[in-house]
Amino acid sequence: MSARTEVPLTAPAAERNKDPILAVLKRVLPSSGTVLEIASGPGQHVVHFARALPALTWQPSDPDPEMRASIRAWIAGSGLPGVRAPLDLDVHAQPWPVQSADAVACSNMIHIAPWSATTALMGGVARILAPGGVLVLYGPFRQAGRHTARGNEAFDRSLRASNPEWGVRDLEAVITIASSAGLALEDVVAMPANNLSVLFRGA
């Protein structure tokens, strides 16, 4: 019996936001080293980023076997040597299957996970991130207790209807959790479609 062929999946949102996120990464990532991507999804992002920033080593990860299969397919199709095989990484499961990283990227995860995932993410990043390394956290956020757009408010309602533990997070609460873990807020960058890139630095 032959092994099942792995097929690269496509997420429309990832296709739309990959270039705006890449612009932020180009500005803040180190010139060399390893970048851990958490919740890589289908793999579009990591291949796009690796093609544009080939001096870096990219480590994708996702807890979903279907997503990891898609990531492997994207990597195989790209022919890029600087992307490692995806890791099975659930932020709640400590220790993580990676011991260190010079930078971490995480897009569109914390609103489709319980709040405990944000705490686990920040604690895990603080443990593995090189001194002065950056965490780039991308997605929708509430600010000062309010949604920044009607579309985000509707999105939040749909998330909570799917799972009461999900939802668009308060930026200030996320910053507090990061600070408690030892990650310092560096910048908040406005992004298209009412999203934000939130940058933290390790101690």
Q: How far is CA 63 from CA 72, 142, 165, 179, 194, in A?
A: 14, 26, 18, 26, 27
Whether the predicted pLDDT of 112 surpasses 80:
yes
Question: Strand pairing partners for 36?
Answer: 59, 104
Cα separation, 63 vs 90, in Å, equals: 5
Whether the predicted pLDDT of 172 surpasses 50:
yes
* Class of domain 12-202 as given by CATH: alpha beta
Whether the predicted pLDDT of 170 surpasses 70:
yes
Q: Which whole number is the average pLDDT over 100-128?
A: 98
Q: How far is CA 32 from CA 103, 106, 109, in A?
A: 10, 19, 25
Helix-helix angle 44-52:12-28, to 10 degrees: 40
The answer to whether residues 175 and 146 touch, using CB atoms and an 8 Å cutoff, is no
Whether the predicted pLDDT of 192 surpasses 90:
yes
% of the chain beyond a pLDDT of 70: 98
Cα separation, 144 vs 134, in Å, equals: 24
Whether the predicted pLDDT of 5 surpasses 80:
no
pLDDT in tens, 121-143: 999 999 999 999 999 999 999 99
Residues 6+ apart with CB under 8 A from 12: none
pLDDT in tens, 47-88: 999 999 999 999 999 999 999 999 999 999 999 999 999 999
Q: How far is CA 107 from CA 1, 4, 82, 138, in A?
A: 37, 29, 20, 5
Cα separation, 203 vs 134, in Å, equals: 10
